[in-house]
Structure 1
Amino acid sequence: MAHSFSLGIRRIWQELSVMQSPGLYWVNIDRQSDANLFCRQIVAAQAESTQLALICSGDQADRLLATPLTSAINKVPLYSLPEKKAALLHLSDDLMRELKPTHRLLILLAHASLWQTFTSDELRTWAARLGKWLHQQQCTLVILSHGSGVNKLKGQLAAEHRILNGLASLQGLQSSAQYLVHWWSTGNGINANQLFTLSEGPEGWQGADDSDQPSPTPERNDESLCLAEKRILEGAPPLSASWQLFENNTKLMQRGMLTIAATLIFALYQSDEIDELAHQIHNLRRSRGDGLKIVVREMSASLRYSDERLLLACGANLIVPHVAPLSNFLTMLEGIQGQRLSRHIPADIDTLLTGLRPLQLKGYLPPEDFSRAVTSLMDNTLLPEDGKGVMVALRPAPGLSAQQSMTLCHLRRFGDVMTVAQNRLFLFLSTCRINDLDTALKFIFRLPVSEAFSNRVVWHQDVDIIDKIRLLRQQIEFSLPAATPQPAVAKMTAAARDQQAERREPVPFTLLSYGLEKQP
């Protein structure tokens, strides 16, 4: 009778390469090809006396058997699982009828979408019932889920350490893979929070270095550790021995996957980096828990209100604006030490992106499409009242038509749209605060707004924007203020008047040449 089964992964800690019996283990894998390789190497790693059973969903068995690692895989009982929720709910009953599961190793290879209809409570109940059955039969089941939907599963399973004996993730890279062990039951207890770089060898996945040794006791007290992108210190060296600097945010995230309570500081330079940064923060928070302190320092003017809300919703503790000097930034860091994040972080980041960025349009729109797009954004209840954006009407300077003024406008962000009506250029800047309008216009226009346009009118409250959009949609002319004269020309300052009063009057002189004076 086997008391443990090998995963077949060489060159990682021995305790993390075996599964105890009985037990329920789950490995989430991004790509199907990587999952097939992982499955074949588990089968190939078992002794000849080991009793196995392989369960595949759909038609995956044909792909799996196409390139077996050894001939032993052909001797394994193979079962096909219908891609239905009911098939999972009756899995233990079907196995009892088809084979004797006692002391067996069961491998379930299935697409992650098979669990897409399970709620978190249903998944927890199903796994708990299955784990109880495995314990009664003294057998082990390892679930290899892969494909789209695997990120949702990771989030749903992240807190189920009381039910699952082991949870891990395999993320494929270009020439290697990262194997993250969230937790894993071993002969000496539970080991957690370990990250390995795996490469594809002749016998399947294997570690990057030769470490077939019992795992050492990992260091858990990393609360004083501060990991940062190197440019956030503005050229200064690490402030102490507990500071570590990294070349970019990607390397910082990879190192952060090994921590549970450290402070991680990301740098943000451009607005097009926000989505990638949001995914990195969400991944860290869902994988590493509430103890991490995640900070974003804005290195240049890049964030709007919706961007800040998105990063906070993904799990950031603190966002430092670009106007804050280094001394204030370090003071802010001290203020979040010892904190634990109490906000709920949704498992699916796409839900956050859809809710906080519903307007996936940018640039010029015809007046009707412009009105429809802005109206849809105004109806979004997930965005705060009077914080959905700013609408601006710009009158071009004399000699410049509204159509020509569009060539000066370069809208980079989704949600920023423009149209031409009433011989004016109308802009809607999504989720832009009224106090950030001048900064936004500076980045949008190639020329100073005061030179290209004679005047502007701004609306930032929802009721005003909705009213003006209604008039635009109905093609009703509404009054706008006339061009405002420049202050320097309209009014003369007191200092200028005093200077003019003190100016001396010129005295005329008649100049005659010497030759002219001699004439009679």
Structure 2
Amino acid sequence: MKKPWSLGLKQVQSEFIMMDTPGCYWVTATREEDGRTFIRQVIASQQALTLISSAEKPQRLLQPVPAEGPDRIPMYSLKKNRKSLLQLSDDLMRIHNSKSGLMVFYCDVSHWNTLSGQEISDWLKKTRRRLITQKITLLILTTGFEISHLRNHLQHCFRQLDGAAHIDHQQDSWQYRISWWNYNNVLIADRAVRLTLTQERFTALPQSEKNQPLSLNDENNYIAEQQVLEGAPPLSKQWLLYESNAQVFSRAQQASTATVIFSLARNEQINELAEYIHGLRLTRGSGLKIVLREMQTSLRYSDERLLLACGVNVIVPHGASLSRFLSALEGIQGQIWSRHIPGDLTLLKNAMQPLQERGYLSLDAFCDAVRRLVSNTVLPENGKGLLVALRPVPGMKAEQLIALCKPRRYGDLATLTGQRICLFLSSCRYSDLDTALRSIFRLPHDEIFSNRLVWFEDAQILTEISQMNDAPGAWHDLPLPTLAPVIKQPVSQQPRIHPQPVTLLQNEVESE
């Protein structure tokens, strides 16, 4: 009889966490601390297993020591290189412990990045054949903030994997997301279980009923700040206009399914609006339609993500006409909010807007702040901001131009590195770079800087920050970007035509 193995998640249905023998299962996690907690919970649920690690020494994975689990665990370290990973299928057979049919392999996503997608698929095919022959179950746990690329590839490995799942951190809880899971000839796909962390163990939260609207009596009402109609009178008796967002919030606390519309005229209102939206979504339920109309260009990507995470249904950008705005309102009628809203707004703000600094920083402080932000796994991969190096035009010094640099938003940082000014623009898209530079510098940036270098990928930014911090002298001597040669028109070899003097009205003068 086949012996099943468990992931050890508490109060989770057995078909979501049990593993067959033989079998190959793969669980991923963005945060390293979540992966370490999960693997200790797996170990605590077994009577025997074999542990392999390439991210660090396997002994460190057992700190703190699990309260339960086997007394002795065979442990092996795998070198973090391409060759050792390709040979792991053969090594599994050599280190197989006859007392245990479960092997757990813990690794970092950067290790798998040394293999191509086809090599990973071939590796899984070969490994699966060995597991079936030896009647072994292999659980692979991979962590890293660049995990999304690997997860996308695993979706194509359905025939080689018996199960694929992901542990996703959501500020105040976790989500165990199952792509597919095969146990006892029962296949489960596309499921999600919310988890909490209690005494270093993941436990399922009780499944509460969906937050149904409190009432449907006001579903045709519109509670709006008067600026959103651009001076127009109320469009019908269902439209209730108020002079401020605070009054809109006060009236919306009595609504259940109405459409609540706030206005945003300046960036300083974002924190206040986040509190209003978060409070309404938690207290008035999922039937409320919350809309934000941007009256002036004020939102950056991180601000949009914060407001969406607080519970806003739609953000109407500045520049949208009144007719487009009304069409957007019509499009959200009948919507029911289904996303999870963290109860702690401060925790949510810290996750979405982690940098509460702006302006000039020393080089060490600048590098430390950027490194902390880029390493934040809650923020989107390769979307945390731009690192920009600016070289002044000849005749001007970086020390002179730094006085003209006035970042206005939190997360926009500046520092000096030799003859360059280095900026980090948090949550800034590349397409918005020129707009951001025009806002930061008092003079036209294209007239005071001769060239600029831009990095936007997480790995690139971390590499440049390390070089900047470790060897600033070498970093600020970066070569100029290669420019296309200037094509000059050929100079004509014909003799230059000299102007000839002409006396006007010559005939009339001679006749006199």
| TM-score of the aligned structures, taking structure 2 as reference length | 0.53
Structural mapping, 1:100-499, within 5 Å: 221-476=217-472, 477-478=474-475, 480-482=478-480
Name which one, 1 or 2, has greater alpha-carbon Rg. 1
Write the deviation string for residues 454-479 of structure 1: whole angstroms up to 9, x where unpaired: 11111111111111101101125245
CA contact (8 A) 1:266 1:296 kept: yes
What is residue 501 of structure 2 aligned with on the other side?
A: 509
Which whole-Å CA distance do the structure 1 matches of 2:382 and 2:408 have between them? 23
What is residue 15 of structure 2 aligned with on the other side?
A: none
CA contact (8 A) 1:290 1:341 kept: yes
What SS does the corresponding residue of 2:454 show, helix, strand or coil? strand
CA contact (8 A) 1:298 1:322 kept: yes
Which whole-Å CA distance do the structure 2 matches of 1:457 and 1:344 have between them? 39
Amino acid at match of 2:332: I
Q: CA deviation at 1:483?
A: 7.9
CA contact (8 A) 1:278 1:310 kept: yes
Cα 1:449/1:256, change in 2 over 3 Å? same
**Segment of structure 1 superposing worse, 233-242 or 421-430:** 233-242
Q: CA deviation at 1:248?
A: 1.2
CA contact (8 A) 1:362 1:411 kept: yes
Which whole-Å CA distance do the structure 1 matches of 2:250 and 2:385 have between them? 36
Structure 1: gaps spanning 5 or more residues:
1-118, 121-155, 161-191, 194-218, 515-520
| TM-score of the aligned structures, taking structure 1 as reference length | 0.52
What SS does the corresponding residue of 2:327 show, helix, strand or coil? helix
What SS does the corresponding residue of 2:425 show, helix, strand or coil? strand
Amino acid at match of 1:461: E
What is residue 93 of structure 2 aligned with on the other side?
A: none
What SS does the corresponding residue of 2:292 show, helix, strand or coil? strand
CA contact (8 A) 2:453 2:481 kept: no
Cα 1:250/1:474, change in 2 over 3 Å? same
Amino acid at match of 1:385: E
CA contact (8 A) 2:358 2:410 kept: yes
Q: CA deviation at 1:254?
A: 0.7
Which whole-Å CA distance do the structure 2 matches of 1:251 and 1:490 have between them? 61
How many residue pairs match? The answer is: 294
RMSD: 3.3
Structure 2: gaps spanning 5 or more residues:
1-171, 174-204, 507-512
Which whole-Å CA distance do the structure 1 matches of 2:264 and 2:487 have between them? 43
Q: CA deviation at 1:335?
A: 0.9
CA contact (8 A) 1:230 1:246 kept: yes
What SS does the corresponding residue of 1:236 show, helix, strand or coil? coil
CA contact (8 A) 2:398 2:421 kept: yes
Cα 1:221/1:369, change in 2 over 3 Å? same
Q: CA deviation at 1:236?
A: 2.0
Q: CA deviation at 1:235?
A: 2.0
Amino acid at match of 1:482: L
